[in-house]
A and B are shown apart, each in its own frame.
Chain A
Amino acid sequence: MKRIFSEFMKALYNNSFVFTTEIEPKKTVNPEGIINLARKFKNHVIACNITDNPRAHAYMNSIIASYIIQREVGLETICHMTVRDRNRLALISDVLGACALGIKNILTITGDHTTMGDNPNAMPVYDIDSTQFIYMLRKMVDEGIDLAGNKIDGEVRIHIGAVGNPNANPFEPEILKIKRKINAGVEFIQTQIVFDVERAKRFIEELKAPPPFILIGIFPCNSYRMAEFIDKKVPGISVPNEYKEVLKKANENKEKIDESNIEYFSEMIKELKKTTRASGIHIMTIKYEDIVGKIIDSVKGIC
């Protein structure tokens, strides 16, 4: 019998089509910002990802932020943990601490290199990589021991996720790497943002057996400028012209922008739901949080 610890995982096993979104703690000591965001998301998503020093910027700790959100808002979290900032000792101890705080889902992440961040001369750690982190977590959860075989008191009740990139070029080594992660025992995959439904389909198709749960990442843009920026400046991600065109036509009109996003992404979601074995959608936004609920509402009843 598969042991299930989180509401998120329970929904996946029940074959519900699920939605998650993401909150980025900032360089702040105040939790109000993340609490308010979590309140906005609470009735729409099953769980919310909490980022861990994204783009190698030193922000509020993701474990603490996850704990605060779960306690204050009652929204389950998927806590990101990078191997960039911790050696295996720190990872083990952070996982134990996360368990003590009631965190049930961990997304294993390599982490952007420190040279990309806001303290660029920092020593990056990378003692173990994200695949080995998954392997270690499996030992902690399944056998109650750490990486070196030392016994842990009590149960480690954690579900293990990883990221995948449907845009990767070349594609095959990305898929093979994810297969290593599947072999290591990962349970769910949340993907990098993708605009092109065919790319998402190809990704899901390649990861047929044995199947992890896959949530496809989407990113509704709040303006034509944003879409252009992603297309031109974010390496490896291309934004289809048809999507950019509708945003352009919306001409900075907030209602029309919303409508265009709802239409574009609800079509994409329906298509994925109908033709693939995707388990859900992970919606990421920048300064456009209110669209998350709107897109999810637009496919209610269908998903």
Chain B
Amino acid sequence: MIKLIITKQKPNLLKNLEKYNKIFIIGCGNCATICKTGGENEVKALAEKLGDKVIGNIVIESPCNLKFLKKDLKPFMYSNAEVIVALCCGVGVQSIVEFTNKEVIPGLDTLFLGEVGIKGRFYERCRACGTCILYETGGICPISRCAKKLLNGPCGGMVNEKCEVGNYSKDCAWILIYKRLKELGRDFEKIIEVHNWQNKPGELILGD
């Protein structure tokens, strides 16, 4: 199983692009390709819809990586463009802005960090909350999987193991956790303390 950033196509993208006549499209060879939202096929499909307004397009291995942008994206390709449409996650969009200094329109909505299931469905599994508590919850993350991010058991909205949010179609994360802890023979009565949401002074930067 691969972990990736899950995106979906923005509604009204074509409408928002109506006023432009010189458009350059950038796709993503990594997450958005696997999601089928910004790979070769999707870039081609968008280019066809926009017709001769498109002055060029490219799929970059990972637009979120400045090294790849530098290697693959040459200024002459996009310098005439009024706007760049980025079919990648919000991180990629920002790298492209930084690298090209052009107006960039996100073509996708960035949804979550997901697991790719066996049948090709995507499951939200982590919100990068900064303080991982997976040990306490038996390896099932309530911060991303419980609609209320609760840390101490199912809320009153649980009915027959399902969650009130989504009209009782999804499993209540806390029932999954309860079953898992039971399987592991672990105590369910211990209180999980208030979460440290790692309140960050703006952007976090890691590395030397």
Mark A residues whose CB is within 8 Å of B.
84, 88, 110, 112-113, 115-116, 124, 126-132, 135-136, 147, 163, 165, 168-170, 172-174, 176-177, 179-181, 183-184, 192, 235-236
A170 B161 Cβ-Cβ under 8 A: yes
Residues of chain A within 8 A of B164, CB atoms compared = 112-113, 116, 235
Mark B residues whose CB is within 8 Å of A.
147-161, 164-165, 168, 174-175, 178, 188-195, 197
Where chain B touches its partner, the secondary structure class is: loop
A126 B148 Cβ-Cβ under 8 A: yes
B63 to chain A, nearest CB (A): 28
Question: A177-B152, A180-B152, A236-B159 known; 17 other A-B pairs, CB under 8 Å?
Answer: A112-B157, A113-B147, A113-B157, A128-B195, A130-B155, A131-B151, A132-B151, A168-B158, A170-B161, A170-B178, A173-B188, A174-B154, A177-B154, A177-B174, A179-B189, A183-B189, A183-B191
B191 A113 Cβ-Cβ under 8 A: no
Residues of chain A within 8 A of B156, CB atoms compared = 110, 163, 165, 192
Q: Considering the chains assembled together, what is the distance between the CA atoms of A170 and B171 in angstroms?
A: 12
Residues of chain B within 8 A of A112, CB atoms compared = 157, 164
A278 to chain B, nearest CB (A): 19
Q: Considering the chains assembled together, what is the distance between the CA atoms of A115 and B149 in angstroms?
A: 14
A110 B150 Cβ-Cβ under 8 A: yes
A180 B189 Cβ-Cβ under 8 A: yes
Known contacts A129-B148, A236-B159: A173-B154 contact under CB 8 Å: yes
A176 B188 Cβ-Cβ under 8 A: yes
Q: Considering the chains assembled together, what is the distance between the CA atoms of A174 and B178 in angstroms?
A: 10
Residues of chain B within 8 A of A236, CB atoms compared = 159-160
B193 to chain A, nearest CB (A): 7
Q: Considering the chains assembled together, what is the distance between the CA atoms of A116 and B165 in angstroms?
A: 7
Residues of chain A within 8 A of B188, CB atoms compared = 173, 176, 180
A128 B194 Cβ-Cβ under 8 A: yes
